[in-house]
Amino acid sequence: MKILVGLGNPGREYEHTRHNAGYDTLMILAGKTGIEPQKSKCRCRIGEGFFEGERLTLAWPETFMNLSGEAVVDLMNWYKAEPQDILILYDDIDLPFGKVRIRPFGGAGTHNGMRNILYLTGSDRFPRIRIGMGGCPPEWDLKDWVLSGYHTAEERQTAYDAFCLAADAALCFAKDGIDLAMNRFNK
């Protein structure tokens, strides 16, 4: 079984913001797999099902971003899952906008949601897909930047294309493992 966790902030005011790239990618995954969020469990909206023979859980934490680790700990305990079986999808301002990067484990970088996950679980062994949002423009405050939406049709298309690529990479991870996903999607 694999658990795919898309990080974001709950609430309508945060929908389709840069910080909710994980949520948006999971919605694309829900469409591709037919696994829709059906219930609340483990401080997440959860969808459970099978895709190409692999049991999948899609999880949208209902905690705010900086407390994402609380939901991940609950998921680990409920499903008796190891970090290697939980793929974290999230935005990254340290990657160019639209770039997707897959890693088998590592630090949190500048991401407070990942920092909380690593701190509360005591492990950095979570595979992850980082979705590039680009650096914060100098005239913006960082918080305002990550909580902003996409300002042009071109930005919206770039974000959507990145979410689709990240969704395909997540399905490759679930079916074939992290190494093949990295080989196929880290270009």
Q: In this predicted model, what pLDDT tens digit does every residue of 27-81 receive, in sequence order?
A: 999 999 999 999 999 999 999 999 999 999 999 999 999 999 999 999 999 999 9
pLDDT of residue 85: 96
At 61 the pLDDT is 98
Beta strands in the chain (DSSP E): 2-6, 39-41, 44-51, 54-61, 86-92, 100-103, 128-132
How far apart CA 98 and CA 179 sit, in angstroms, is 22
Question: At 128, which amino acid appears?
Answer: R
Tens digits of residue pLDDT in 102-149: 999 999 998 999 999 999 999 999 999 999 999 999 999 999 999 999
Residue-range domain boundaries for the chain: 2-185
Residues noted as catalytic: 19
Q: Which of 158, 172, 173 is nearest to 84 (CA)?
A: 173
Is the Cβ–Cβ distance between 113 and 91 less than 8 Å?
no
Q: Which of 1, 178, 176 is nearest to 80 (CA)?
A: 1
Which homologous superfamily is 2-185 in? Peptidyl-tRNA hydrolase (3.40.50.1470)
Provide φ and ψ at 73, rounded to 5°.
-60, -45
How many angstroms separate the CA atoms of 23 and 91, rounded? Answer: 10
Confidence label for 178 from pLDDT (cuts 50, 70 and 90): very high
What integer pLDDT is reported at residue 187 of this predicted model? 80
pLDDT at 162: 98
Identify whether the C-beta of residue 186 lies closer than 8 Å to the C-beta of residue 173: no
For residue 133, give Cα distances in angstroms to 10, 17, 29, 147, 169: 19, 10, 19, 11, 17
pLDDT at 125: 97
